[in-house]
Chain A
Amino acid sequence: EVQLVESGGGLVQPGGSLRLSCAASGFAFSIYGMTWVRQAPGKGLEWVSVISGSGGSTDYADSVKGRFTISRDNSKNTLYLQMSSLRAEDTAIYYCAKLGGAVAGSWGQGILVTVSS
């Protein structure tokens, strides 16, 4: 069974940094692309970033480009999202998801990031 468990969220001040982790199990992690999707309180889903199975290819939404970095450690079956220069509008639940092609077939439970002074 695919399991994805996010961690590392919390309250951070504007301009601060935070690193999210997503621990994966139940599948051959290194074979699959992974993605981060976020959802601001009461709002819809926003695609954030994607990384290939090898980690050699990444992409970002314009709203986070230059501030967020997606990475993975295939030896630890873990996906990361390093977030810096955080803004109030980055406040959201962040979900990691396993990709089949570019389709998010399995999702974690989500982790809340709150950017506030």
Chain B
Amino acid sequence: DIQMTQSPSSLSASVGVRVTITCRASQSISNYLNWYQQKPGKAPRLLIYAASSLQSGVPLRFSGSGSGTEFTLTISSLQPEDFATYYCQQSYTSPYTFGQGTKLEIK
């Protein structure tokens, strides 16, 4: 199975700053990498698919990059509604494994 490792596991940041979350795959997954946002008590929401494609309705401050084994999710200017947990997921091959999550908290 492909292992997905996110860093950091948690992050404290202030409104308005730029934030980057990294996701590493245990083997090459080309660009088959997706990012989800989850708020407490809510279902996950797709933000980015195919490593860098923005899902419809997602604010432009979110962006994704990378290919192969290393990927990043960047939020260009944190907004209060962005404080949540973020997960990466590989959709290259089954089982479609998730990273362990990165909890983004208000500083």
Say whether A and B bind each other: yes
Please list the residues of chain A having a beta carbon within 8 angstroms of any beta carbon in chain B: 35, 37, 44-47, 50, 59, 61-62, 95, 100-110
A106 CA / B45 CA spacing, docked (Å): 7
On chain B, the residues within 8 Å of A109 by CB distance are: 43
Given A44-B87, A100-B49, A102-B96, 10 other A-B residues pairs in contact with their CB atoms under 8 A: A37-B44, A44-B101, A46-B98, A47-B89, A47-B98, A62-B1, A104-B89, A107-B43, A107-B45, A110-B43
Q: For chain B, what secondary structure do more than half of its interface residues adopt (helix, strand, loop), or is it mixed?
A: loop
Tell which of B34, B43, B55 has the most Cβ of chain A within 10 Å.
Answer: B43
CB contact list, B72-107 vs A, under 8 A: 87, 89, 91, 94-101
Total cross-chain contacts (CB, 8 A)? 54
Please list the residues of chain B having a beta carbon within 8 angstroms of any beta carbon in chain A: 1, 32, 34, 36, 38, 43-46, 49-50, 55, 87, 89, 91, 94-101
On chain A, the residues within 8 Å of B46 by CB distance are: 103-106
Tell which of A100, A103, A105 has the most Cβ of chain B within 10 Å.
Answer: A103
A104 CA / B87 CA spacing, docked (Å): 12
